[in-house]
A = this chain, B = another copy of it.
Amino acid sequence: MANLFDNLEMPAAADFHVHLRDGPMMEAVTPTIRQGGVDTVFVMPNLVPPLTTVQAVLDYKKRLQAIEPNVNYLMSLYLHPSITPDTIREADEAGIAGVKSYPAGVTTNSSSGVVDYESFYPVFAAMEEADMVLNLHGEAPPSSPTNTDPTQQVTILNAEETFLPTLKSLHERFPKLRIILEHCTTAAAVNAVRQCGPNVAGTITAHHLFLTIDDWAGDPINFCKPVAKLPSDRVALLKAATSGDPKFFFGSDSAPHLLSAKKGLSDGGLGAGKCAAGVFTQPNVVGFVLEALEGAVQLGIAKKEDLSQEKVEGFLGGHGRKFYGVPESSANIRVKAEGVNVQNVRVGGAGNSEGGMSETVVTFRSGKPTYAVESV
């Protein structure tokens, strides 16, 4: 069991990439934000249908605040052909923090996403002027099935690296636009973020600090997009997270799905369908990140002095708060090494006390011990 951070006291963390869903799922997962040690979240707009109007985003924020008022919800619009420069100005005035771009068809609820970035240049120009953040799901879409050169195909392994020239070209064309490459999973992505100017940053999830390809092959609970890559990529993420470089900060991409969906049992037939992509970490995010950073020392990837309170606080909130221009947290948390065991989350709540596969969201590292986090 990890213990390096026993009794660490620090500002509540900020999580710059969360999926809180809607309806009963939202009601179940929103209360786990504070439980995980976080008081500021950047909320993804990929509901069904996606949040493509300012009013829809503001309505969603109210629903979230009604469940847990003690969280600072940074909201985002879903980049979509219906969004114009006027929408951006309206969003900015309404206090919306960012615009999320999903390449069409790449991950959960991305079917309404972007096919061609050039058509959005006027929108990006308006964002640059309004100083709004562009959040990129940085994966190239899968190759067309009619691609006749199978050696040139985009796979889940190279989709992120294949996207990086797009990141660089957007940054060159809109140098003052603040851009985040969400959920970096490769050494190549980390390098690309470093090579760009200070207006480009990258978020890193908790689960990608733990996982490599072997961990999700045959284990739907650990399956997400972008997929966890090679051990050398994980090393690059751990080094970035312990570097103190303000270009890297935490965004969990915590993505709740019912266990039945994670197992691909929701197709209405025999149950041989595909598994939903997404790893749910929200109830224990701070504990997971601290465990992973401590693991980096044990693996010889980082030194103990890389885990100074300043660096850990920077990765878990300070860097991101500065990038987004949101105030420091006034809430504090304390970490305890005696720990807790990771629990699953129940959706709905009626019926028997255990909850079945269609009522349960399995948390990452379910049943394993991790740091306990308490508000102080």
Residues on A facing B (Cβ under 8 Å): 142, 148, 150-151, 153, 155-157, 212-214, 216-221, 223, 227, 230-232, 234-235, 259, 262-265, 270-272, 274-277, 299-301, 344, 354, 357, 360, 362, 366
Contact = CB atoms under 8 A, between A and B. Distances in A.
A230 B270 contact: no
B157 A230 contact: yes
A151 B218 contact: no
A218 B217 contact: no
A272 B362 contact: yes
| A-B interface, 8 closest residue pairs, ranked by CB to CB distance from nearest | A150-B231, A218-B275, A153-B231, A151-B232, A272-B362, A219-B274, A150-B235, A263-B263
A153 B263 CA distance: 28
A296 to B, nearest CB: 10
11 contacts: A150-B301, A151-B235, A155-B212, A217-B217, A217-B223, A218-B275, A218-B277, A220-B220, A220-B264, A263-B263, A271-B357
A153 B150 CA distance: 27
A270 B357 contact: yes
B151 A366 contact: no
Given A157-B213, A214-B142, A232-B150, A220 B299 contact: no
A216 B223 CA distance: 11
A271 B259 contact: yes
Nearest to A148: B300
A357 B263 CA distance: 12
Given A155-B230, A155-B231, A231-B151, A219 B270 contact: no
B270 A150 contact: no
Contacts of A142: 214
A213 B277 CA distance: 15
A259 B272 contact: yes
A237 to B, nearest CB: 11
A218 B270 contact: no
Nearest to A262: B272
A220 B270 contact: no
A264 to B, nearest CB: 7
B272 A366 contact: yes
Contact of A218 (B214, B264, B265, B301): B264
Contacts of A231: 150-151, 153, 155
A274 B272 CA distance: 15
A224 to B, nearest CB: 9
A110 to B, nearest CB: 14
Contacts of A223: 217-218
A112 to B, nearest CB: 20
Which residue of A151, A216, A344 has the most chain B CB atoms within 10 A of its CB atom? Answer: A151
Nearest to A223: B218
Nearest to A298: B148
Given A157-B213, A231-B150, A235-B150, A270 B259 contact: yes
A227 B220 contact: no
A227 B235 CA distance: 23
Contacts of A227: 217
Given A231-B150, A299-B150, A301-B150, A213 B274 contact: no
Contacts of A153: 212, 231
Contacts of A155: 212-214, 230-231
Nearest to A224: B218
B218 A218 contact: no
B271 A263 contact: yes
